[in-house]
Structure 1
């Protein structure tokens, strides 16, 4: 979608817990040395028992404080969109409204957005549509957070594509201006591939209700076995979907890949990062955020925005630079956005201890 109106990122925030190194995980038997070497990962962030919505609140408060310099107040927001890839709290309870209560605290709509790891980019597109359709409110707050510490989750071995990490991110989307202008945003899906994340699991009862763990590797093993027995694998490669989505969004932004200063991608392990993202685009790891994400891990939907915050606050991108935000998730679907940095980071907009 080409964004023709004034849609900006007015503020970003993140909250990351302490790191646990992959070397320590190997030393205490949680992670294999061969897997550690193959992944290229140095550490992941682990929040222990801090609820995911509280991490979203902390990130949102930073984003809101940074956005306040544009004149935005809580009364200017029309909605809150919260993204999550894992359980947030009690069944039948609303994490989005918990975040809303502890941030904007206004009687506006709050909703949870998916699917999975591209949720925050999906929410960004939804926010752009809302701002275009309703001129009564000037901003939308986006949040994302996950905590993969429950005992049913083995963050070190649930997938060879990534190591699950904890943390939160937030973004203020506004028509009043900000530090970056949204040029385009969109997604491409390959629904024939939805079964890859389902594996051999039945749809009912839901796995969590019978104590089944979140284990993508088991589902991958299921399909490897089926293919070895003669079942036909999907004819679509996720890397092709990535290339298609990026081509479309870049064209809508009147931008070539050579004009993109940096790519903020999902926090995958090294092999998966190249196979799924970098190689299909014919770009190097230095063009992305690998040197950062390899010490963070995969924090669900938050990854691209955590990466953008780091680049912006450290001055690695500045006015005139165009940045590609990129994520893939179950479905299979790939979402991306192109933003152009319009203002440098001003450290005075956040307390020193909150700067990255």
Structure 2
């Protein structure tokens, strides 16, 4: 979708202290060979703040940078991939109370690691359809610091990282202009993140949560036994969505200065993202993401803020933001930097 008059007015993140992976190896939480193969240096770990509390901090920064007042906002959209608090509780309204404190709609967008880009698309629709208010607040946060999750082995593709991010989407102006945004799914790939066990009960009563690796190995065994893969191709999906989104903005990959992406380990990041996009690590945010890990949907915002604050992108530069989620679905946004970070 080509977008007119939609901007990113503010950005904020919260990245906790970084645990050197040597420390994880020494404690036995991570293998020495796994450390070497990952290409990663450290992972962000938060042991004091919950996910919603981290989101509040990130949002405070984004709101201050945006120049918007609380009365300007039409909605708050919060994204997460993991448990935020008590069952049946609303983390988005907790965040709303401690940020804008206005009686506006506030909801959770559970769209995996594409949550921020899905929220951005929904915010653009809201602002284009409703002229009453000028801004939408996006927040995202996860804290995996719990015995329920093994951040080092939930997947062979990444190390789960704690963190939060926030964007203020505005119809007025901002440090970046949204040129186009699009999400495309291939539901034939939904099998990748489950086994063929019954979906009742909806959650296993025991065992680790977010155990993607066990599900991957299940399908590998099925194929080894002669089962036919259900179909779908993630790499093709990624390539198609990126090309379509860029085309809607009147651009090609050659026009893109930098790409913000998920914080995967080195080899899968190259195979699943860099190669299909036709870029090298220098055009991505690998130099930063290898220090943080995979903070879910926060990765693309953490990367964008880092590029902007450090002057690695300047006014006129185009940035492609790429998110993905089980389903499978890929989201892309093209933004043009319009202002530098002076005074941010």
Report TM bin, short chain: over 0.9
Cα RMSD over matched residues? 1.0
Alpha-carbon contact 1:200-1:219 (below 8 Å) kept = no
- Deviation at 1:282? 1.5
Deviations 1:2-24 (A, max 9, x none): 11x20000000000110111111
Deviations 1:240-264 (A, max 9, x none): 1110110010000101100100000
CA distance in 1, matches of 2:227, 2:328: 19
Deviations 1:290-327 (A, max 9, x none): 00000000111111011000000111001000000001
Q: Which residue of 2 aligns with 1:354?
A: none
Q: Which residue of 2 aligns with 1:65?
A: 64
Q: Mapping of 1:114-193 within 5 angstroms?
A: 114-193=110-189
Q: Counterpart of 2:165 in 1: which secondary structure?
A: strand
Is residue 286 of structure 2 the alignment partner of residue 290 of structure 1? yes
Deviations 1:114-167 (A, max 9, x none): 210000000000000000000000000000000001101000011011000001
Q: Which residue of 2 aligns with 1:2?
A: 2
Residues paired across the two proteins, number = 344
Is residue 86 of structure 2 the alignment partner of residue 85 of structure 1? no
CA distance in 2, matches of 1:191, 1:228: 23
- Runs of 4+ in structure 1 deviating by more than 3 angstroms, as ranges, are 208-212
CA distance in 1, matches of 2:72, 2:31: 50
TM-score (norm 2): 0.98
CA distance in 1, matches of 2:123, 2:110: 14
Alpha-carbon contact 2:189-2:233 (below 8 Å) kept = no
CA distance in 1, matches of 2:202, 2:232: 27
Is residue 200 of structure 2 the alignment partner of residue 204 of structure 1? yes
- Deviation at 1:233? 1.4
CA distance in 2, matches of 1:10, 1:85: 25
CA distance in 1, matches of 2:201, 2:54: 30
- Deviation at 1:64? 0.3
Alpha-carbon contact 2:44-2:293 (below 8 Å) kept = yes
CA distance in 2, matches of 1:319, 1:114: 32
- Deviation at 1:44? 0.4
TM-score (norm 1): 0.95
Q: Mapping of 1:306-321 within 5 angstroms?
A: 306-321=302-317
**Structure 2 runs not aligned, ≥5 long:** none
Is residue 268 of structure 2 the alignment partner of residue 246 of structure 1? no
**Structure 1 runs not aligned, ≥5 long:** 350-356
Q: Which residue of 1 aligns with 2:44?
A: 45
